[in-house]
Amino acid sequence: MRRKASRPNDMANALSHDQNFKNLILDYPREALSFFAPEEAPTPEEAAQVVPVRQEQLQERLGDRFRVLDTPLLVEWSDNRRSAILFVMEEESDWSRFSPHRLAQYCLDLAMMFETERVVPVTIFLRDAGGAARSLVLSTERRAYLTFDYLACTIGEMPVGRWLASDNLVARVNLPNRRGGETSRVEVYGQAVRGLLALEPDGGRRAKYIDFIDIYANLTDNEREWYREQFPEENKAMAGIVQTARDEGMRRGIERGMRQGRVDGERALLERQLRRRFGSLSPAVAARLGEASASDIEIWAERVLDADTLDDVFNSSH
């Protein structure tokens, strides 16, 4: 999504924000539309399906114009009373990098690709929209030839009070990104966690979006202590989720390590067998062994028993 040059840390942070919001939109597409683009989103009562457009499809059809961090969503109504709408959603953590020209070009690309004129562009400004252009007009003194508008959702300008008890999970985890007013940062954080625990039953996603809330809340040590006092149940549940996620990550890491250890052992055994049968190995053979998969090693280990030459081991035609 980013085109303007920037300091390395700024670029890394921008991409991190983009990925955070892309994950959120892909995990909760209907809730994301209701929060970021309410005037065009299907209502909860409507029988509509919201489907993220496959990245592979976009990359194949758009080539160099494909933007991996944009998030198109296709909304289709099951009653066929209206045509599908394609929502093009992008996040901007820094409004100065926003380009209506770029967004308009991408929307036109997608309109041509899907053969539709029902495309809704949505820009999510994380903190403020500043001086970001709100429209694009190509014109002369005589007439306007192209007018392009988009929906702007500026999270940082939303009053937090309206969303403290929302049943929209996307709204709840974004509470720390909104203007607090009279509501303390600790209360905002606690209500975000409380909403996540109430609305998301899956432990993996809970752990994922507790991290999301933490990143944008950025509480001080004192504020965390106040949170533990004011939200003891949420704090206890959150601690359990985080520990479970860590235990699961450690278990998977151990399993990966054990699998890798077995492969490395089999690789070393095969190398010893090859040296014993055929003498010293060339750098090319050593490199091939080092890059080999577990299945490659298994196949070569069977061949080495009957092979007369190294080519017999590595060449499947022998």
pLDDT at residue 56 in the model: 66
Any domain includes 94: yes
- Domain shared by 14 and 116, yes or no: yes
Any domain includes 171: no
pLDDT at residue 4 in the model: 39
How confident is the prediction for the chain on average, in pLDDT?
A: 84
Structurally, how many domains does the chain consist of?
Answer: 2
- Domain shared by 113 and 16, yes or no: yes
- Domain shared by 21 and 152, yes or no: yes
Any domain includes 13: yes
pLDDT at residue 8 in the model: 39
pLDDT at residue 120 in the model: 95
Any domain includes 184: no
pLDDT in tens, 162-205: 899 999 999 999 999 987 677 899 999 999 999 999 999 998 88
Full residue range of the structural domain in which residue 33 is found: 1-157
Listed as ranges, residues in the chain with pLDDT below 70 are 1-15, 56-57, 61-62, 64-69, 180, 244-261, 316-318
- Domain shared by 276 and 141, yes or no: no
- Domain shared by 128 and 255, yes or no: no
How does DSSP assign 88-100, residue by residue? Answer: EEEEESSGGG--H
pLDDT in tens, 119-130: 999 999 998 888
Question: Of 157, 184, 219, which one is at a domain's C-terminal end?
Answer: 157
Nearest to 90 by CA among 135, 120, 133, 59: 120
Q: Residue 171: which residues within 8 A CB-CB, separation 6 or more?
A: 31, 35, 163, 195
Any domain includes 240: no
pLDDT at residue 100 in the model: 93
Q: Residue 117: which residues within 8 A CB-CB, separation 6 or more?
A: 111
Give this prediction's pTM: 0.70
- Domain shared by 139 and 263, yes or no: no
CB atoms within 10 A of CB 70: 20
Any domain includes 168: no
Any domain includes 213: no
- Domain shared by 134 and 266, yes or no: no
Nearest to 153 by CA among 182, 130, 128, 176: 128
- Domain shared by 131 and 280, yes or no: no
90-114: b (≥16 Cβ within 10 Å) or e: bbbbbbebbbbebbbebbebbeebb
Question: Of 157, 192, 213, which one is at a domain's C-terminal end?
Answer: 157
> Do the Cβ atoms of 169 and 201 come closer than 8 Å?
no
- Domain shared by 135 and 263, yes or no: no
- Domain shared by 16 and 142, yes or no: yes
Tokens in use for 168?
A: 């929209």
Angle ∠(169,10,68) on CA atoms, nearest 5 = 60
Sole residue written with tokens 């607090």: 180
pLDDT at residue 290 in the model: 81
> Do the Cβ atoms of 201 and 171 come closer than 8 Å?
no
Question: Of 105, 137, 157, which one is at a domain's C-terminal end?
Answer: 157
- Domain shared by 257 and 110, yes or no: no
Any domain includes 152: yes
